[in-house]
Structure 1
Amino acid sequence: MTRRRWIADEISGERAFLTGDHARHLAQVLRAKVGQEFDIATGGEVRRGSVVSVNPERVEFELGVVVAEEAGAVVTVAISVFKFDRMEWAIEKCTELGVARIIPVIAARTEKHLAAAASKRVERWRRIAKQAAEQSRRVTVPEVADPARLNEALTLGAGARIVLSEAEKDLDLRNAVAEGADSVVLAFGPEGGWKEDELAAFGKAGWVSASLGPAILRAETAAIAAVAVTASILNQ
């Protein structure tokens, strides 16, 4: 039987803690007992955790042996802000697919009301990422950064940097991603795509332009498809 996995809310030495909704669920719904064991993700690894104390506000674990570690290349996604319900879905699915970092980007074609409200949605996006990481039994929760302007996003990330563009006709994503790379950053435009001057800025900053093929995809579909393709190549 698969042991239930939790992502620690707090860590102190060889102790981990669940708080808030996690603690209430463990205490009141699962009725956890002292001595009961769970898998606890502590950031980069999963360790066996034995319940030391339990109440609806705070559950404490003593950490034991390492049972899993995060593996694979690091994938960062820079997603231009688009309609929030669909962006939340993209964040959830990209998390399930294993991305390490999500950077919301304010692009030229990002709708003004979405750009203005984006900073107020960050905590919600972080909760969605954490829930998705737990559901998919991730070892770590991806970082969801504060929204960045394009000129800031151009300098973020390390490794291969690829901007997805419908205008690119010569290079597709499968050929842009090198097998065995340690890290890749993928940038996705908003609804309506990148403007020409934005693509020029990417090129000047050393980014490679690539496409996902001839089909015109929704922003969230493009993000999920690109992450899936990239992860499959990197983890071969």
Structure 2
Amino acid sequence: MTRRRWIADTWTATTATLSGEQAEHLARVLRAAPGQVYDIVAGGFLHRGEILSVQPSEVVFALHEELESDAALPLHLLLAVFKFDHMEWAIEKATELGVAQITPVLARRTEKHLAQASSKRAERWRRIVLEASKQSRRTTIPEISEPAALKSALDDADEPMRILLSETEQSTSIASALAGAPGGQSGYALAIGPEGGWTPEEMNLFTQHGWLSVTLGPRILRAETAAIAAIAILSSHLA
């Protein structure tokens, strides 16, 4: 039987602690008791953890042997801010697929009220990736950056392979771009535009920063669909 997995809030070399909602769920709902064993992620490593003490506000584990686990997909997703319910679905699924980092981007065509409210949504997005990481049995939680203007996000994206999904690109597919990439690439960045796409000025900015424009094919996809399709293709390429 697969053991339930938890992600520690704090840890030392020999112990890990769950607090807040995680501790309350263990204590009150699951009625956890000392001696029970779970899988515990602490500092990006997976351990077998044995409960030492249980309180509604804090559950402490002894960390035992380290277990085998999968590494995160070496992918930084730059996701233009769009309708929050659709964007949150994309963030959840991107987490399940293994991305390492997500940067919400304030694009020219991001709706004004969404751009203004985005900074207040960042903590909600972080809770979403935490829950999705536990559900998908990840050992790392994707980093969710604060929403950033496009130029700032591009300045910070230093991955060797930088891919832009573009509605204006007709011939270079993401699969062919990945197939032609030099061997030994250690990191990838993928940019997904807002509803309405990138403006010509933003496209020029991507070009100046060395991004490669690619297409997913002739169909016009919603932003969240395009993000998941592209991540899946890249994941298959790296398998």
TM-score (norm: length of structure 2): 0.95
Kept in 2, the 8 Å contact 1:70–1:140? The answer is: no
The aligned residue for residue 49 of structure 2 is: 49
Deviation sequence 1:158-194 (CA, Å, 0-9, x none)? 1201111011112111112247632110001000001
The aligned residue for residue 227 of structure 2 is: 223
Counterparts of 2:68 and 2:17, CA distance in 1? 19
- Alignment length, in residue pairs? 235
User: 1:143 deviation in Å?
Assistant: 0.5
Counterparts of 2:177 and 2:17, CA distance in 1? 42
Kept in 1, the 8 Å contact 2:169–2:214? The answer is: yes
The aligned residue for residue 173 of structure 1 is: 174
Instruction: Write the letter of the residue equivalent to 2:171.
Output: D
User: 1:72 deviation in Å?
Assistant: 5.5
Kept in 2, the 8 Å contact 1:68–1:139? The answer is: no
* Identity, % of aligned positions: 54
The aligned residue for residue 182 of structure 1 is: 186
User: 1:130 deviation in Å?
Assistant: 0.5
* 1:131 equivalent in alignment to 2:131: yes
Instruction: Write the letter of the residue equivalent to 1:216.
Output: I
Counterparts of 2:192 and 2:156, CA distance in 1? 14
Which sits farther off after the overlay, 152-161 or 171-180?
A: 171-180
Q: Secondary structure at the match of 2:68?
A: strand
User: 1:155 deviation in Å?
Assistant: 1.9
User: 1:36 deviation in Å?
Assistant: 1.0
Question: Structure 1 regions of 5+ residues with no counterpart?
Answer: none
Instruction: Write the letter of the residue equivalent to 2:192.
Output: F
Kept in 1, the 8 Å contact 2:80–2:194? The answer is: yes
* 1:193 equivalent in alignment to 2:224: no
User: 1:197 deviation in Å?
Assistant: 1.2
Counterpart mapping for 1:110-129 below 5 A: 110-129=110-129
Which sits farther off after the overlay, 197-206 or 65-74?
A: 65-74
User: 1:73 deviation in Å?
Assistant: 4.1
TM-score (norm: length of structure 1): 0.96
Counterparts of 1:35 and 1:225, CA distance in 2? 43
Counterparts of 2:99 and 2:47, CA distance in 1? 21
Counterparts of 1:194 and 1:20, CA distance in 2? 40
Alignment partner for residue 214 of structure 1, among 214, 218, 221? Answer: 218
Counterparts of 1:70 and 1:108, CA distance in 2? 37
Instruction: Write the letter of the residue equivalent to 1:40.
Output: I
RMSD of Structure 2 on Structure 1 (CA): 1.2
Kept in 2, the 8 Å contact 1:15–1:63? The answer is: yes
